[in-house]
Structure 1
Amino acid sequence: MRRLEFGWFVPTSGDTDAYGHAEAFIPPSMDMFERVTQAAEAAGFAYILIPVQTACWEAWITSAMLVARTKSIKPLVAARPGYINPALLAKMISAFDQLSGGRVCINLIAGASDEEAAADGIQFVKEKRYALMDEEVRLLKILWSAAGRVDFDGDFHKLKGALIVPKPLQKPWPPFYLGGGSKQAWEISAKHSDIHLFWGDTPERIGQQIGEIRELARKYDRHDAIGFGMRLQVIVREREDDAWAAADRLIADLGERHKARIANMFNASEANRRMKELAKTEGMKIGPHLWTGLTLARPGAGVAVVGNPEQVAGTLQQFIDVGCHSFCLSGYLHDEEAERFGRLVMPVLKARNAARMAAE
């Protein structure tokens, strides 16, 4: 039995509670990042996702600043293939882990598009980026495990006499997360991840995919080692009507140019394509409290759990019951929604899953 864990999100490209109204936009700043992170920590979240898209502030520097201003919450920070030399990345993560007292998790990201990768100087197409990711994660684990110097002769990287000092504080290394909907993403997760994060979908489909990834992990003898979680938006209010009103406000008055731009973003990403497919459902709902409307306003994980505390907890419980134990959540405004979720929903889930909340 895996312990239930909850993560939140720092919107390092800015925040809003009304995508159709420019005046509602809150620009990125250290004050805002700190406010969101401290609200998440106070609400009981274990980790906080730091995004890495082009419009976002640099994730490792931001994470280091936030760790210095908090006590327990762990940044979930991207390791992107080809972005940082793996010998340097191994040293960075080890130093971060030691200096923070074991407060870092690693988010494996291949990138949503070839264009976004190229903007950061990564010239590989997505298939190559996954192959590079596989090699770099293997190399990180070798470097962290080795008692002495390491020679490595890979398809992408060649090291001679590499030595990582210090080793990570978390043993054998910080946990790896991966979110992706393609078969390549599943294969990497089966081989390397501690937690595979699904973007929003129906609980039935998620349960089926958990079974498929477990079977992939079996050939690496990891079918019991890999865990699963959900990347979801959340809109919770004490009254259901107020929650749906907040959902409506998020996408009210969206311009056609905005919607067209979002519709044409990241179409090579399997996960993003699935989000757009789900958005076509009647009433933009794939369940009584699973809403896809945010896919009109933003790319990425756009399925939101909407309702009162019991309804939101009940919907999340459906994902728990099919095998998920980690929930990486976000909501608008991010500091306010973190506080609401911690106050209104976490107590309900803790009561329903007391043994799992206490499990190691």
Structure 2
Amino acid sequence: MPVEFIGYVSAREQSEIFAPEGPEIDPAYIGATALLHERAGFDRALVAFHANSPESILIAQHAASVTTRLGLLVAHRPGFTAPTLAARQFATLDHLSRGRVAVHIITGGNDIELQADGDNLTKADRYARTAEYLSILKREWSSAAPFDHDGRFYRIRGAHSAVRPYRPEGIPIYFGGASDEAIAVAAEYADGYALWGETLGGVGELVQRVKREAAHYGRKPRFSVSFRPIIADTEAEAWARAEQLEAEILARQRASGTLAGIALDTAGNTPTPDNLPTNAGSRRLQALSAQGDRHDTRLWTGVARATGGRWNSTSLVGTAEQVAQSLLDYYRIGVETFLIRGFDPLQDAQRYGRDLIPLVRALIEEEDSRRQVA
């Protein structure tokens, strides 16, 4: 099975080690980043969504306008746009980009952030709304005749779109979330299930769980794992860079008085567990980092601990050859998509394209050939 690589395009340059500078939206940076990913051999690039960030669909449209091959994985939070309108927006962008759009559904596990956009539903209700939202979205993309819908969250009469997805197979839907509610929705609607980087055992457990749930609907989603690879010419140099990155991140947090947006105490210490992110994915990373920094062969959780497990923050550390071998191990347990982005966004993406992605593709091609012979 061909492996897929997803990178990351943001509205301006920033990361855990780079404070954002310049305008909130930098068209030149968006275009340069998108082109770099296309030339580096990435299949797609994620455009993120936050309650205070620039609009993801519009950022993706600009990235699509300067590229010819790169796919865009557009993060989207259901519930703030009518599902029929969202279906037309994504289908329109899909035509403008000639079939390069995929949607990453993020229901959201942070109550405070969601309240900034006026969403006060409970977590269970948010996932129930997401399921209904996706059923309407898919129906708007596929229905040949006007349709009505009577549900808990939406009542619709005569819905019909003149614009459908560019390709007959439609627009892929990726889905993130590790809670029971998230897995139930993903099993029914997701074409790709995305999770943050964990141990081989942890990822394998979620892969099998989602497979079992999806089988009830006759579905077989792809699986995506996100990492922040740290690669260098030697393994020692890679681990030294990892330690340096963690030190830089902690120093920046102490200087600003925050940890991943959470206020530190007066002594500059990290927040108590009660103040850390509580979504299921973050709790899994918090538990993993509490067990130590290094797991399996080269999985590192230093940044996950420093950021409270708030986002994609685990790394594979080593030479390009060593990290490629680790990614092959994840492929062997069912992962076919890797979302990789660096702490130095442009330089790391360039190095991934030069040193890492070709190696992984070659290893997986060799692996598939052996399977066919066997």
TM-score in same-fold range (> 0.5) = yes
Report the AA paired with residue 15 of structure 1: Q
Structure 1 position 229 matched with structure 2 position 228: no
- 1:285 is matched with 294
Q: Distance in 1 between matches of 2:313 and 2:146?
A: 45
Three-state SS of the structure 1 residue aligned to 2:258 is helix
- 1:274 is matched with 284
- 1:173 is matched with 170
Q: Give runs of aligned pairs for residues 129-168 of structure 1, distance below 5 A.
A: 129-168=126-165
- 2:339 is matched with 328
Structure 1 position 245 matched with structure 2 position 255: no
**TM-superposed deviation, 1:290:** 0.9
Which stretch has the larger CA shift, 287-296 or 138-147?
287-296
Three-state SS of the structure 2 residue aligned to 1:132 is helix
- 2:9 is matched with 10
Report the AA paired with residue 149 of structure 1: P
Q: Distance in 2 between matches of 1:287 and 1:254?
A: 29
Kindly provide the CA deviation profile for residues 13-40 of structure 1, in whole angstroms up to 9, marking residues without a partner as x: 6424636xx5xx5555222222222211
Report the AA paired with residue 301 of structure 2: T
- Report if the CA contact (8 A) 2:238-2:318 is conserved: yes
Q: Distance in 1 between matches of 2:368 and 2:9?
A: 24
Report the AA paired with residue 62 of structure 1: I
Q: Distance in 1 between matches of 2:221 and 2:275?
A: 31
- 2:330 is matched with 319
Kindly provide the CA deviation profile for residues 197-254 of structure 1, in whole angstroms up to 9, marking residues without a partner as x: 11111112211221111111121121xx211110111111222233223322322224
Q: 1:117 to 1:260 in 2, by over 3 A?
A: closer
- Report if the CA contact (8 A) 2:49-2:77 is conserved: no
- Report if the CA contact (8 A) 1:231-1:328 is conserved: yes
Report the AA paired with residue 242 of structure 2: A
**TM-superposed deviation, 1:101:** 0.1
- Report if the CA contact (8 A) 1:233-1:301 is conserved: yes
Report the AA paired with residue 288 of structure 2: L
Which stretch has the larger CA shift, 90-99 or 51-60?
51-60
Q: Distance in 1 between matches of 2:279 and 2:346?
A: 29
Which one scores higher on RCO, CA 8 angstroms, separation ≥ 6? Answer: 1
**TM-superposed deviation, 1:265:** 6.3
Q: Give runs of aligned pairs for residues 42-191 of structure 1, distance below 5 A.
A: 42-191=39-188
Q: Distance in 2 between matches of 1:221 and 1:203?
A: 26
Q: Distance in 2 between matches of 1:329 and 1:344?
A: 13
Kindly provide the CA deviation profile for residues 293-322 of structure 1, in whole angstroms up to 9, marking residues without a partner as x: 112147211111111111110111111011
If the length of structure 2 is used for normalisation, what is the TM-score? 0.88
Q: 2:365 pairs with 339, 343, 354, which one?
A: 354
Q: 1:250 to 1:54 in 2, by over 3 A?
A: farther
- Report if the CA contact (8 A) 2:192-2:223 is conserved: yes
- Report if the CA contact (8 A) 1:11-1:334 is conserved: no
Q: 1:355 to 1:121 in 2, by over 3 A?
A: farther
**TM-superposed deviation, 1:335:** 1.3
Unaligned runs of 5+ in 1: none
If the length of structure 1 is used for normalisation, what is the TM-score? 0.91
- Report if the CA contact (8 A) 1:350-1:357 is conserved: no
Report the AA paired with residue 293 of structure 1: G
Which stretch has the larger CA shift, 121-130 or 64-73?
121-130
Q: Percent identity?
A: 28
Q: Distance in 2 between matches of 1:345 and 1:212?
A: 29
